C-alpha cells in the first residue's frame, strides 16, 4: 500500500519534471529561432494583429469593469476608516501593479492560448505541420517564434491600455456614483502614482504574454489525434497558461516589491 503510494508520487514527480524539461527545451529552441534567419515578417505581423489588436476589446472591457468595481469596494472599505479620499490612488495602484496585468493576462490566456493551441493542433492533425517540413520550413520558426515575439510585445501594450481604461472606470464610478470632483479625482490619481507601479505591471505583461504564446504553441504542437486531441490540447493550454500566469505573478511580485 505504502509502496504503491510512493511509486505513484515518484511517477507523478518524474512526469512533472519531464514535462517541465520538455517545455523548457521547446522554449529555448523557439527563442533561438528569433535570432537566426530566415525571419517571417508576414507571420509576425499577422500574429501581432491576432494577439494584440484583436484582444483590445476583451482587455478594455475587463479593465473598465474591474476599475469600476474596485472604486466601489475601496470606497466602502475606506469609509470604515473615514479614508474615502484614497479611492483614486488605490484604484490606480491596484490596477497598474496587479489587476491590469493579471486579469488582462488571464483574458489573453483565454482568448489567445486557446486559439493558438486549436489552430496549431488542427494543423498538426491535418498534416499541415508535416507539409511545412516537406516544404523546407521549420514549424518552430514559422509558427512558434513569430507568435512568441508578438505576444511578448503586444501583451505589455495591452496592459498599458488596460491600466488607462481601468483607471477611467474608477474615475467614472468615482464621479458619477461617489460624488468625487472630477478634477480632484484625476489629480489624486496622478499625485500618488509612481513610474515603477506602471512599469512593474508592464513587465509582468511581457512575462504573461510569453507564457500565453508558449503554452498555446507547445500544447498545439503536441496535440493528440483527431477532434478530441485538439480539444484536449486547447483546454490544457488555457489551464496551464492561467495557472502559470498566477504563479509567475506571485514570483514577480516577490522579486519586484518584497523588502
Partner 1 sequence: MIEIHGLTKSFGPKHVLRGIDLSVVRGESLVVIGGSGTGKSVLLKCILGLNAPDGGSIVIDGKPATGHAGASEREEFLSKFGMLFQGAALFDSLTVWQNVAFRLLRGANRKPRAEARAIALEKLKRVGLGPDVADLYPAELSGGMQKRVGLARAIAADPQVIFFDEPTTGLDPIMAGVINELIRSIVTEMGATAITITHDMTSVRAIADKVAMLHDGVLRWQGPVAEIDTTDDPYIQQFIHGRAEGPIEALR
Binding of partner 1 at residue 49 (CB under 8 A)?
Answer: no
Closer by beta carbon to partner 1, 128 or else 236: 128
Binding characters for partner 1, 20-39, by CB under 8 A (x = yes): ----------------x-x-
Binding characters for partner 1, 140-179, by CB under 8 A (x = yes): ----------------------------------------
Distance, CA of 159 to CA of 28 (rounded, Å): 25
Q: Which of 29, 56, 58, 128 binds partner 1 (CB under 8 A)?
A: 128
HEC string of 15-41?
A: HHHHHHHHHHHHHHHHHHCCCCCCCCH
Measured between alpha carbons, how far is residue 205 from residues 12, 75, 209, 211 in Å?
Answer: 31, 27, 6, 10
What single-letter DSSP state applies at residue 126? T
Distance, CA of 232 to CA of 139 (rounded, Å): 21
Among the listed ranges 90-98, 129-137, 166-174, 183-191, the one in contact with partner 1 (CB under 8 A) is 129-137
Q: Report in angstroms how near the CB of residue 132 gets to partner 1 at its nearest.
A: 8
Distance, CA of 238 to CA of 29 (rounded, Å): 22
Q: Is 117 within 8 Å of 216 (Cβ atoms)?
A: yes
Closer by beta carbon to partner 1, 109 or else 120: 120
Residues 222-254: b if buried by 16+ CB within 10 A, e if exposed = bbeeeeebbebbbebbbebbbebbeebbeebee
Q: Which of 9, 127, 227, 243 binds partner 1 (CB under 8 A)?
A: 127
Q: Report in angstroms how near the CB of residue 217 gets to partner 1 at its nearest.
A: 15
Site for partner 1 in 107-126 (CB under 8 A): 123, 126
String of DSSP letters for 33-101: TTSSS---HHHHHHHHHHHTGGGHHHHHHHHHHHHHHHHHHHHHHHHTTT-GGGHHHHHHHHIIIIIHH
Which set of grid coordinates corresponds to residue 165?
481604461
Q: Which of 86, 138, 203, 231 binds partner 1 (CB under 8 A)?
A: 138
Q: Report in angstroms how near the CB of residue 24 gets to partner 1 at its nearest.
A: 21
Among the listed ranges 77-85, 106-114, 133-141, 249-257, the one in contact with partner 1 (CB under 8 A) is 133-141
Binding of partner 1 at residue 18 (CB under 8 A)?
Answer: no
Q: Which of 82, 136, 179, 195 binds partner 1 (CB under 8 A)?
A: 136
Binding of partner 1 at residue 54 (CB under 8 A)?
Answer: no
Binding of partner 1 at residue 45 (CB under 8 A)?
Answer: no
Which positions touch partner 1 (CB under 8 A)?
36, 38, 40, 46, 123, 126-128, 130-138
Amino acid at each position: 500500500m505504502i509502496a504503491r503510494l510512493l511509486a505513484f508520487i515518484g511517477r507523478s514527480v518524474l512526469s512533472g519534471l519531464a514535462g517541465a524539461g520538455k517545455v523548457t527545451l521547446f522554449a529555448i529552441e523557439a527563442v533561438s529561432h528569433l535570432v537566426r534567419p530566415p525571419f517571417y515578417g508576414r507571420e509576425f505581423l499577422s500574429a501581432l494583429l491576432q494577439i494584440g489588436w484583436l484582444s483590445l476589446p476583451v482587455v478594455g472591457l475587463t479593465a473598465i469593469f474591474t476599475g469600476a468595481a474596485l472604486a466601489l469596494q475601496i470606497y466602502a472599505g475606506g469609509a470604515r476608516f473615514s479614508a474615502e479620499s484614497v479611492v483614486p490612488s488605490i484604484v490606480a495602484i491596484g490596477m497598474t501593479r496587479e489587476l491590469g496585468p493579471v486579469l488582462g493576462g488571464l483574458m489573453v490566456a483565454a482568448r489567445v492560448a486557446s486559439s493558438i493551441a486549436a489552430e496549431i493542433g488542427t494543423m498538426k492533425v491535418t498534416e499541415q505541420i508535416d507539409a511545412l517540413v516537406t516544404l523546407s520550413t521549420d514549424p518552430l520558426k514559422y509558427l512558434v517564434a513569430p507568435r512568441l515575439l508578438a505576444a511578448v510585445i503586444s501583451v505589455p501594450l495591452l496592459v498599458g491600455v488596460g491600466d488607462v481604461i481601468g483607471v477611467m472606470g474608477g474615475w467614472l464610478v468615482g464621479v458619477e456614483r461617489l460624488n468625487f470632483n472630477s478634477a480632484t479625482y484625476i489629480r489624486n490619481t496622478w499625485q500618488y502614482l509612481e513610474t515603477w507601479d506602471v512599469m512593474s505591471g508592464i513587465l509582468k505583461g511581457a512575462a504573461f504574454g510569453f507564457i500565453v504564446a508558449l503554452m498555446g504553441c507547445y500544447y498545439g504542437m503536441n496535440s493528440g489525434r483527431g477532434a478530441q486531441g485538439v480539444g484536449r490540447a486547447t483546454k490544457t493550454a488555457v489551464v496551464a497558461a492561467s495557472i502559470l500566469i498566477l504563479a509567475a505573478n506571485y514570483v514577480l511580485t516577490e522579486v519586484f516589491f518584497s523588502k
